[in-house]
Amino acid sequence: MSIFDSGLLSVMGQRSTGASVRTQNVMAVSSIANIVKSSLGPVGLDKMLVDDIGDITITNDGATILKLLEVEHPAAKVLCELAQLQDREVGDGTTSVVILAAELLRNADELVSQKIHPTSVISGYRLACREAVRFINENLTINTDELGRECLVNAAKTSMSSKIIGTDSDFFANMVVDAVMAVKFTDAKGLAHYPVTSVNVLKAHGGSQRDSLLVNGYAINCTVASQAMPKKITNAKIACLDFSLQKTKMKMGVQVIISDPDKLAQIRQREIDITKERVQKILGSGANVILTTGGIDDICLKYFLDAGAMAVRRVLKQDLRRIAKASGATVCSSLVNLEGEEAFDVSLLGHAEEVLQDWICDDELILIKSTKARTAASLILRGAN
């Protein structure tokens, strides 16, 4: 008798199959749904969750509740991941998707108990899903231009009703609608798009939550690399770099044996000159705003100061990609071209009417306004924590 015939696994586990496992999965999923079911809707109750170190969380948001639960059952874990995915993609309806998924599984289990094969049940669910999507597209889809601003604000209020900012839903709903309308653009086919990722959300501790504000332009939580640099650049040409502008160092494992001490000074000077040439190529393209994800040496800062350019270091990659998309720039991870030579072309630059460093709330931020390719907006959220 083989190891598979006996039901034993090579890791000393036990193989379980059949109706009992299916029932256990349904029970586990139903248990998760029952936990969040009482927090659904406008009259839903809040849950108090206490972790191992005594931190208390009070919420009625389904995704937050399931994230704080220590779930071990595989099927229940899938349901928790479903809530997290819904929260990331949509931002609302986390409790609803969990309850719906649990109910579909429970009904499917009843059908299987009536000798209907699971693949037939799955095929039926997929057919029903296609028909439901078709019906929604044909009968329940309304253009946002026809709905008007009031309906958009009401939809935002409904989404915020279960969040901590629900008490100030009027204030935040109008702010969110203004932000999304600010990033609206029309493609070549005449269809309107609202890229939510073009709205940057920054957090500033202190003040009341009603002190939050909407800023026209893309804001990043950085400052200029040197206080001697200009704080405002008009008609900005933006270079987005994904590498450091620091003194070039030899790669790990490279060993250089020097017999003449004068050669050592020449090697060090050449390391400095390599970075100097890179900076001059970037400035030679006409760039007057340089954003990089890496660091900038003090030696390089001198060249930017002499050219009257603004350099910002330690920009997050996510912010750099969004700025490049909004300004029409190309993120450069290296200056090497197809011929193997280092060069920086003018076509790689992005454009904006104005780039400035400004005090917003209690922090200094870099603001990029009136970008060429797409518009951008930023939300500065205030609060105690």
CB atoms within 10 A of CB 63: 24
Q: How confident is the model at residue 162 (pLDDT cuts 50, 70, 90)?
A: low
DSSP code string of 51-96: -TT--EEEE--HHHHHHHS---SHHHHHHHHHHHHHHHHTSS-HHH
pLDDT of residue 148: 81
pLDDT of residue 8: 53
Instruction: Give the mean model confidence (pLDDT) for residues 135-149.
Output: 84
Check pLDDT > 90 for residue 123. yes
Q: Measured between alpha carbons, how far is 35 from 76 in angstroms, rounded to an integer?
A: 12
pLDDT of residue 289: 92
Q: How far is CA 139 from CA 97, 108, 130, 135, in A?
A: 22, 28, 14, 6
Instruction: Give the mean model confidence (pLDDT) for residues 12-33.
Output: 82
pLDDT of residue 3: 47
CB atoms within 10 A of CB 270: 10
CB atoms within 10 A of CB 174: 16
| Residue 238 or residue 142, greater confidence | 238
Residue indicated by tokens 């406008």:
42
Sign for the CA dihedral angle at 199, 203, 204, 207 comes to positive
Check pLDDT > 80 for residue 14. no
pLDDT tens string 325-382: 888 899 998 888 877 788 888 889 999 999 998 887 777 889 898 888 888 888 888 8
Q: How confident is the model at residue 2 (pLDDT cuts 50, 70, 90)?
A: very low
Q: How confident is the model at residue 128 (pLDDT cuts 50, 70, 90)?
A: very high
192: its two tokens: 């309107």
Q: What's the pTM value of the predicted model, to 2 decimals?
A: 0.70
Q: Measured between alpha carbons, how far is 48 from 71 in angstroms, rounded to an integer?
A: 17
Check pLDDT > 90 for residue 103. yes
DSSP code string of 221-239: S---S-TTS-SEEEEEEEE
Check pLDDT > 80 for residue 242. yes
Mean model confidence pLDDT for the chain: 84
User: Which regions of 36-134 does DSSP assign to beta strands (E)?
Assistant: 47-50, 56-59
Residue indicated by tokens 């034993």:
8
Q: How confident is the model at residue 67 (pLDDT cuts 50, 70, 90)?
A: confident
Least confident of 76-85, 134-143, 256-265: 256-265
| Residue 266 or residue 309, greater confidence | 309
Instruction: Give the mean model confidence (pLDDT) for residues 280-303.
Output: 89
- Report the phi/psi class of residue 308: left, alpha or beta, with left for phi > 0 and alpha for psi in -120 to 50: left
Q: Computed over its alpha carbons, how large is the radius of gyration of the chain?
A: 28
Q: Measured between alpha carbons, how far is 198 from 374 in angstroms, rounded to an integer?
A: 8
Check pLDDT > 50 for residue 200. yes
Q: Which of 92, 109, 97 has its CA nearest to residue 37?
A: 97
**Chain CA centroid to CA 229, Å:** 30
